[in-house]
Amino acid sequence: MTIEIILFDIAVLLVSAKILGEIFERLGFSSLVGEVIAGIIVGQSLLGLVAPSETMDVLAGIGILFLMFLIGLHAKFEEAIENNVYSSAIIAIFGGTLSFFLALIAGIGLGYSVLVAITIGAAITSTGMGITVRALSELGQFYGKISKGLIAANVADDIFSIIIMSLFLGFLQYGSINIADSWQIFLVVIGFFIIIIKFGGLIAEKIMAFTVKMKDQESMIAIPVVLMFLIALLSQQINIAGVTGAFLAGIILAKTPYAEPTIMPKAKTLGYGFLIPLFFAYTGAKVNLFSIGSGWILLIVLLIVAIAGKYIGCYLGAKISGYEEHEAKKIGWGMIPRTEYTLVIGQIALVAGAITAGIYSVLVLLVVILTITTPMILKWVYAND
């Protein structure tokens, strides 16, 4: 891929994302809805101006890292997780388990093989936290009780999804599931979270205290970004998605006194001005509506299953955990979007030959539709509270 094509793709995606994002925001919707639709228009489904490529995959991947990094910077993690450990685990387990089994049953019921059914079940277990938190932020609800509960539930959901993905990889490789190995993975993930959050903050504060003395003021964004990349890389090395590492990097840097006055404004400029809209637009551009074929039935069923599984499961988990009726409903709706884990599992299965390109396009389109509809649903839910 030549540099001319890369520059052209970036320019087309950014311009279209900003124009459509502005239009949709003026119409009262989330700007991310316009960004995704912009990608669909300029991508392979309609105009064909932007085609999927490894280079754009990497750039878009950096965009989702920045989104999760900014969410971590904003999140009052200790406040969110405090008194929410039990409830977040219940919500994540209920929502993820119900989603998996509903998708498994739906896949088999539609005549797909057990392997394909397991793949789509594993792919829709995880919630896309970035979508919900960005939508809540635009609604002015970021620091509320529901937002804190959703952040805690999404952290637990990430752990649950990592275990599911690890089980799925074992199933692809060996044709069976090793519970002992899964338990070890669970302990590694928990240990990683504890170590990063417990000791990462102390290290980050010392690094930032040194950085603030540097003459180059832009080091105040360069060093935090480097830390984000390193923690994301470390998380990838132990089979945890890099987005989780980026989120944790934001959390530990949020503890430093430089987070709100310096790091956050600079990261927002780079993130929301360039990389994040690029990610959402490119997600839309990757959808090929014409490769789905008979998969439209699967898409419709999966949409129903994905929404029902998360909403019902997380709603019940929230009710059992002591949330009020209206709070449980908001948590249920807030847990329906899917993003990175759905695409990662779909890509792994596609490369392994477990699913076809058509089924992968169904999973991508599922992510796009839920990305578009979640902000609309949450706006309606809060408006009618």
- Convert the pLDDT of each residue in 146-196 to its tens digit: 777 777 777 777 667 666 766 666 666 555 555 566 666 667 777 777 788
Distance from C-alpha of 89 to C-alpha of 87, rounded to nearest angstrom: 5
What pTM did the predictor assign?
A: 0.70
Q: How many domains does the chain have?
A: 1
- Convert the pLDDT of each residue in 105-144 to its tens digit: 999 999 888 888 888 888 888 777 667 777 777 666 656 6
| Residue 134 falls inside a structural domain | yes
- 236 is in which domain, residue-wise? 52-383
CB count in 10 Å sphere of residue 313:
25
**Axis-axis angle for helices 145-174, 179-211 (nearest 10):** 130
| Residue 226 falls inside a structural domain | yes
DSSP conformation letters of 80-123: HHTTTHHHHHHHHHHHHHHHHHHHHHHHHHTT--HHHHHHHHHH
Residue 382 CB contacts under 8 Å (≥ 6 apart), including other chains: 139, 141, 330
| Residue 35 falls inside a structural domain | no
Distance from C-alpha of 325 to C-alpha of 304, rounded to nearest angstrom: 22
**Axis-axis angle for helices 3-26, 31-42 (nearest 10):** 140
| Residue 192 falls inside a structural domain | yes
| Residue 41 falls inside a structural domain | no
| Residue 142 falls inside a structural domain | yes
Question: What CATH number did the domain enclosing 302 receive?
Answer: 1.20.1530.20
What is residue 346's predicted lDDT score, i.e. its pLDDT?
A: 78
| Residue 9 falls inside a structural domain | no
